[in-house]
Copies of this chain bind each other. A is one copy, B any other.
Amino acid sequence: MKPLDVLQQSLHKRVLVETKGGRSFRGVLEAVDQHLNLVLTGADEVVEDVTTPHTGLTLVRGDSVVYISP
């Protein structure tokens, strides 16, 4: 099984996305491609313990991603 196939199990579920530079997102994973570009809905963005809620969808660029976890 390939890593990106495993990620399909997390579609439509809430995930934590840690990105480079100390920024993380928690939201529902709605789409992902082979570059790890991600679409989240209802995401909360966290930078240094400050949480900013996003409305609608958030597209996170794949090469900013460090890890994705449920």
Contacts and interface: CB of A to CB of B under 8 A. Distances in A.
Contact of A37 (B3, B10, B20, B56): B3
Number of copies: 7
B61 A36 contact: yes
A31 B57 contact: no
Contact of A3 (B5, B45, B56, B59): B59
A3 to B, nearest CB: 4
A46 interface: no
A67 to B, nearest CB: 5
Nearest to A63: B63
In the complex, the 7 A-B pairs of residues with the closest C-beta atoms, listed nearest first: A3-B37, A56-B70, A58-B69, A59-B68, A6-B39, A3-B31, A3-B39
